């Protein structure tokens, strides 16, 4: 009796995390793809820990696709991989990406190639405990169903007895929060043209405005609840209470002292730096004057 069974990978990948630079690179490659190509594919680099794959880097690999076959530039892939390893040996092969919606026909062929490639590279690195199956990331650059769908898959082998039957792509959760992009600021990354980078104080102003708006929202919400306009939510209430409790309780006198000390410190620093700047100016003038005098006495 033949038993149809799944082989789950030895150390399954639970989820994946995407670094914004990968998304940017994939989109850039897609924009720069050759004339006749429908999609771009390429290699993903990153690291794996505790079943979470962090996709940190990527590069496109030229390929040719016809009705039923895919030709990947293997040499190119290997060269590029070696170059990337030189810069950052910690970023290893974790999978591959393709643009388009979902998994398509040729994908399993390419996936097989990456499975083999990953096995070889692991052998090279003598890093067997980290061997996880490669990941397949799809980015729908065509916005086919009206939204940005980015999905990650792992492949599971489906076999009948000992005979491999098919490979099944299973979707795994993908973390798209991209803290790194938040640090840079979505304002800069989501518009097509930014004329000027925000400087320190402008950024500060924006942050404060946002904080102010948040506090306003909370006021409004609390007022609404008190006056019976909104239905109270215990969770939100508890959250607000926690937040208020996290403000340290200091007596006004003590707070004033700390506050004034800090202000004085900062004033002293500003004074010092202004002094040094004035000093630089004076020194330059004196130097020039000395040179002129010197020149006159010399001639």
Partner 1 sequence: MSNTMARSFLQAVSSSEEVAPPLRVVQMEGLAVLKIIKHCNGFSPALVTGQLLGLDVGSVLEVTNCFPFPIREEDEEIEADGANYQLEMMRCLREVNVDNNTIGWYQSTLLGSFQTVELIETFMNYQENIRRCVCIIYDPSRSSQGALALKAVKLTDSFMDLHRKNNFTGEKLREKKLSWVDIFEEIPIKISNSALISAFMTELEPESPVAQCDYDRLKLSTAPYMERNLEFLIDCMEDLSSEQNKFQYYYRSISRQQAQQQAWLQKRRVENMARKAAGEEPLPEEDPSNSIFKPIPEPSHLDSYLITNQTSNYCNQINGVAGQNFSRLYLMKALHEN
Look up residue 43 and give its two tokens.
Answer: 């290699």
Q: What whole-number distance in Å separates Cα of residue 114 and Cα of residue 298?
A: 77
Q: Which is nearer to partner 1, 160 or 272 (CB)?
A: 272
Look up residue 130 and give its two tokens.
Answer: 């980290």
Contacts with partner 1 by CB under 8 A: the residue count is 94
- Which residues, including other chains, have CB under 8 Å from residue 90's CB and lie 6 or more apart? 47
Q: What whole-number distance in Å separates Cα of residue 154 and Cα of residue 9?
A: 9
144 touches partner 1 by CB under 8 A: no
DSSP SS3 for 147: coil
Among 104-112, 129-137, 230-238, 271-279, the segment contacting partner 1 (CB under 8 A): 271-279
Among candidates 67, 66, 56, which has minimal Cα distance to 89?
56
Look up residue 21 and give its two tokens.
Answer: 């630079």
130 touches partner 1 by CB under 8 A: no
Q: Which of 14, 160, 213, 241 binds partner 1 (CB under 8 A)?
A: 213
Q: Which is nearer to partner 1, 8 or 291 (CB)?
A: 291
Q: How far is the CB of 47 from partner 1 (least distance, A)?
A: 11
297 touches partner 1 by CB under 8 A: yes
DSSP SS3 for 40: coil
Binding track over 232-251 against partner 1, x by CB under 8 A: ---------------x--x-
Q: How far is the CB of 87 from partner 1 (least distance, A)?
A: 5
Among 45-53, 104-112, 145-153, 227-235, the segment contacting partner 1 (CB under 8 A): 145-153
Q: What whole-number distance in Å separates Cα of residue 246 and Cα of residue 149?
A: 39
Q: Which of 6, 7, 24, 239 binds partner 1 (CB under 8 A)?
A: 24
276 touches partner 1 by CB under 8 A: yes
Q: Which of 48, 52, 70, 80 binds partner 1 (CB under 8 A)?
A: 80
Q: Which of 214, 240, 241, 282 binds partner 1 (CB under 8 A)?
A: 214
- Placement of tokens 């499975």 in the chain: 115
152 touches partner 1 by CB under 8 A: no
CB atoms within 10 A of CB 58: 26
CB 46 within 8 A of CB 13: no
CB 155 within 8 A of CB 113: no
Site residues for partner 1, 172-201, by CB under 8 A, read: 176-186, 188-201
Region of residue 49 (left: phi > 0; alpha: psi -120 to 50; beta: else): beta
Q: Which of 8, 15, 243, 288 binds partner 1 (CB under 8 A)?
A: 288
Look up residue 116 and give its two tokens.
Answer: 């083999």
- Which residues, including other chains, have CB under 8 Å from residue 255's CB and lie 6 or more apart? none
CB 101 within 8 A of CB 145: yes
Binding track over 88-107 against partner 1, x by CB under 8 A: x-------------------
Q: Which of 47, 48, 54, 76 binds partner 1 (CB under 8 A)?
A: 76
Among 47-55, 118-126, 147-155, 225-233, the segment contacting partner 1 (CB under 8 A): 147-155
Q: Which is nearer to partner 1, 61 or 155 (CB)?
A: 61
Q: What whole-number distance in Å separates Cα of residue 273 and Cα of residue 37?
A: 58
* Beta-bridge mates of residue 54: 17, 47
Q: Which is nearer to partner 1, 123 or 216 (CB)?
A: 216
């Amino acid at each position: 009796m033949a038993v149809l069974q799944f082989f789950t990978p030895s150390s399954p990948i639970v989820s994946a995390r995407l670094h914004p630079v990968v998304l940017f690179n994939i989109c850039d490659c897609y924009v720069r793809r050759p004339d006749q190509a429908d999609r771009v594919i390429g290699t993903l680099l990153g690291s794996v820990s505790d079943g979470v794959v962090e996709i940190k880097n990527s590069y496109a690999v030229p390929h040719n696709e016809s009705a039923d076959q895919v030709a990947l530039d293997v040499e190119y892939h290997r060269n590029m991989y070696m170059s990337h390893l030189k810069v950052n040996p910690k970023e290893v092969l974790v999978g591959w990406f393709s643009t388009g919606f979902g998994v398509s026909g040729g994908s399993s062929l390419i996936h097989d190639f990456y499975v083999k490639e990953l096995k070889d590279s692991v052998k090279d690195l003598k890093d067997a405990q980290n061997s996880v199956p490669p990941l397949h990331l799809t980015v729908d650059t065509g916005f086919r169903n009206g939204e940005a769908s980015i999905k990650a898959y792992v492949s599971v082998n489906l076999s009948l007895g000992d005979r491999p039957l098919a490979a099944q792509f299973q979707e795994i959760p993908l973390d798209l929060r991209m803290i790194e992009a938040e640090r840079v600021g979505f304002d800069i990354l989501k518009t097509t043209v930014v004329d000027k980078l925000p400087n320190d104080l402008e950024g500060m102003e924006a942050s404060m405005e946002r904080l102010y708006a948040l506090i306003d929202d909370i006021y409004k919400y609390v007022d609404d609840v008190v006056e019976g306009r909104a239905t109270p939510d215990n969770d939100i209430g508890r959250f607000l209470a926690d937040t208020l409790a996290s403000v340290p309780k200091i007596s006004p006198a003590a707070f004033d002292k700390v506050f004034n000390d800090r202000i004085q410190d900062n004033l002293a620093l500003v004074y010092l730096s202004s002094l040094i700047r004035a000093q630089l100016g004076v020194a330059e003038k004196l130097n020039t004057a000395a040179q002129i005098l010197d020149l006159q006495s010399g001639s």
